[in-house]
Structure 1
Amino acid sequence: MKIALSGNVHVIPEIMDVQERLIFLKHKVVPAFKYVDQVIESDEHRKKNDRSLFLRKIRNCDAILVLNNLEKQGRKNYISGCSFLEMGFAHALGKKIFLLDGIPNVSYKEEILAMKPIVLNGNLERIGNP
């Protein structure tokens, strides 16, 4: 399965780890960030272009995997604004949506549930056959 990875820039090490594990499980992976230094890039125009390119890549994937294993502002399973938008884009395209961990208790929880994400509870093998 070809999977686009979505995650907050604060979980870059986890993104790299998940990418390696998915490749080991014979999946094709499209990372959110082309280069690790992209996260510290100060050129807003370049960041916008990179994000636009990633949205186009989602179109060519079978699924999106949101790495929501971060706690932020006291909220477990944090989903960033960008990741939430990417989930909506994937949903509109009819793509599968996987969440690495549970659904966060946030004001837009119903919107997340409406997208029918598959919660992996940290188990990447639940994704299934490539």
Structure 2
Amino acid sequence: MKIAICASMVFTEKMLEIKKELEKLGHSAVVSSFAPAYIDKSTKEKEKLTVYHKNEKDAIREFYKEIKKSDAILVLNYDRRGIKNYIGGNTLMEIGFAHILYKKIFLLNPIPKIEYYKSEIEAVKPVIINSDLSKIKCGHLKTVIPSVSEESLS
């Protein structure tokens, strides 16, 4: 299965570790093409780079294209900013992209208790794998025939 890994770019090193683990399990995995620029940077430097890549390099649209080519997304929702299993705004958008594109959505950890959008995450019916990558299986893929052509979504 081809899996797009979604997370805050603060977790770039963890994204790359998970990518390797997924590949060992026989999956194909992709992270942002901008990931190499984040390796070994401080959190502050990563946050600054994120703003630059979103605004100047169209990073959101670039990763949307990767989600579109994938079978599923895996959201790495680690603790951040004092929130257990944090999902930030950009990752929430990626979850929305995956849902609209009829991709399976896996969460590494349970849905965060963020009142502003907890119900939206619940509505896309993610599979929560509780940090067990072996739970990602092709059988989780849903076959849905959209009433809207995929071309109209691009």
Query: Please, what TM-score do these two structures have when normalized by structure 1?
Result: 0.89
Q: Which of 1 and 2 has greater Rg?
A: 2
Q: CA deviation at 1:17?
A: 0.7
Q: Deviations over 1:79-113 (max 9, x none)?
A: 01111000001001111000011110011111100
Higher relative contact order (CA 8 A, sep 6+): 1
Instruction: Give the distance between the partners of 1:124 and 1:91, measured in 2 at CA.
Output: 20
2:59 aligned residue: 50
Q: CA deviation at 1:62?
A: 0.4
Contact 1:6 1:64 in 2 (8 A): yes
Tell me which amino acid in the other structure corresponds to 2:30. Answer: V
Q: CA deviation at 1:129?
A: 4.6
What SS does the aligned partner of 2:122 have? helix
Alignment of structure 1 residues 1-130 onto 2, 5 Å: 1-37=1-37, 39=46, 40=49, 42=52, 44-46=55-57, 49-69=58-78, 71-107=79-115, 108-129=117-138
Q: Deviations over 1:67-90 (max 9, x none)?
A: 002x22321000011110000010
Tell me which amino acid in the other structure corresponds to 1:99. Answer: L
Q: CA deviation at 1:35?
A: 3.6
Instruction: Give the distance between the partners of 2:105 and 2:94, measured in 1 at CA.
Output: 10
What is the CA RMSD across the aligned residues, in angstroms? 1.8
Instruction: Give the distance between the partners of 1:27 and 1:34, measured in 2 at CA.
Output: 21
Q: Per the alignment, do residues 21 and 73 of structure 1 end up closer, same or farther by CA in structure 2, a change over 3 Å counting?
A: same
Q: CA deviation at 1:15?
A: 0.5
> How many equivalent pairs are there?
127
In structure 2, runs of 5+ residues without a counterpart are 39-45, 140-154
Sequence identity, in percent? 37
Q: CA deviation at 1:53?
A: 1.3
Contact 1:2 1:29 in 2 (8 A): yes
Contact 1:7 1:32 in 2 (8 A): no
What SS does the aligned partner of 2:3 have? strand
In structure 1, runs of 5+ residues without a counterpart are none
